[in-house]
Amino acid sequence: MIKAIPFFIKSITLNISAWSVELLYFWLIKAPVNFWRIALRMNLAFESQWATYITFRNLFAPLYQDYSIIGRIIGPIFRIIRIFFGLICHLILFITEIIAFAVFCLIFEAAPVWFIVNLFIWNQ
């Protein structure tokens, strides 16, 4: 029984140190990567909804396969307007993601530093 106590203490301290390293790795490296992975998926979902790239590719194709003069005139006008609004929405989404990432970094990346600094300041 007495021999098991040092092993138990050693096991707990090693587990705590491994957990702390794993937490820091997740907190500082994996979390920002996961944030941008989610942001990329949001961009892809948004692109599948607005189809800006496909609309740009088919800019001069007649709208709804209407090969008359009116279809050839209205098609590019409609697609230019759709591309314009799509690019504005993409820009708004990108700016929102940048602001969200900045807030994410300020809160979650600076929190451990703030905690450690305050821990040492208040203990003096």
Assessment of whether the complete model's pTM goes beyond 0.85: no
The half-sphere exposure of 69 on its side-chain side, counting CA atoms within 13 A, is 0
Q: Which two tokens stand for residue 111?
A: 């929190």
Instruction: Write the DSSP assignment of 22-48 as a string of letters.
Output: HHHHIIIIIHHHHHHHHHHHHHHHHHH
Per-residue pLDDT of the chain (124 residues; tens, 9 = 90+): 455 556 556 666 667 677 777 877 887 889 889 999 999 999 999 999 888 999 999 998 888 888 899 888 999 999 999 999 999 999 999 999 999 999 988 887 777 777 777 877 766 6
Phi, psi of 105, rounded to the nearest 5 degrees: -70, -40
Q: Are 76 and 62 in contact (CB under 8 A)?
A: no
